[in-house]
Amino acid sequence: MASSPGIYLTMAAPATLDAPAGSQNETPSPSEPQGQTATQERPQTHQQVEQLPPYNVVLLNDDDHTYEYVIEMLLRLFGIEPGRGFLMAKMVDAQGRVNIVTTHKELAELRRDQIHAFGRDQRIMACKGSMSAIIEPAFGGDDVPDGKDGNAGQGGGERDR
């Protein structure tokens, strides 16, 4: 830091919050360097946070919605970029379903309901409403994910918390 001639900056050593009361006035032990205060380490507490079981939000295919509708819905509801949205639209068309996001059950239910409330595809006159979506346990309940069920990884690993 540049200073003007004749102005001198001095800095005091910071006090530590972990030092016992009155330790700043005590004489440091010979093993401590001058100007530093001994600190006590806090015992580490290991709290285990219970993780909620993951659920997939699965978009189901139908013949009443265009790729453009799917791409727009994924962008507006989930923030999924159009390029990835197009790939997901192709996947739901080819496989009949696609995992959109994996999250805890309450948020998965909200996301499913948002899909159901998105509205009809204005591009198709015969379209009567929104696409269908379901939620399901991400790993088939208590199963370990093995990638053999045809769904593993379809959501692109995206997590919504």
- Per-residue pLDDT band for 21 (boundaries 50, 70, 90) equals low
Q: DSSP state, 113?
A: H
Domain-wise residue ranges, the chain: 62-137
- The alpha carbon dihedral of 68, 70, 72, 74 has a sign of negative
Q: For 62-137, which CATH class?
A: alpha beta
Are residues 99 and 154 in contact, defined by beta-carbon separation less than 8 angstroms?
yes
pTM above threshold 0.75: no
Element (H, E) at 104: strand 97-104
> In the sheet where 132-137 sits, what is the strand order?
97-104, 54-60, 132-137
In the three-class reduction of DSSP (H, G, I as helix; E, B as strand; rest coil), residue 75 is classed as helix
Distance CA 59, CA 89 (A): 9
Summarised one tens digit per residue, pLDDT across range 46-84 is 666 678 899 999 999 998 999 999 999 999 999 999 999
79, 103, 111 from 76: Cα distances, Å: 6, 18, 12
Q: Which two tokens stand for residue 112?
A: 């499913």
In the three-class reduction of DSSP (H, G, I as helix; E, B as strand; rest coil), residue 159 is classed as strand
Distance CA 114, CA 70 (A): 13
- The alpha carbon dihedral of 141, 145, 151, 153 has a sign of positive
Summarised one tens digit per residue, pLDDT across range 120-157 is 999 999 999 999 999 999 985 443 333 333 343 444 44
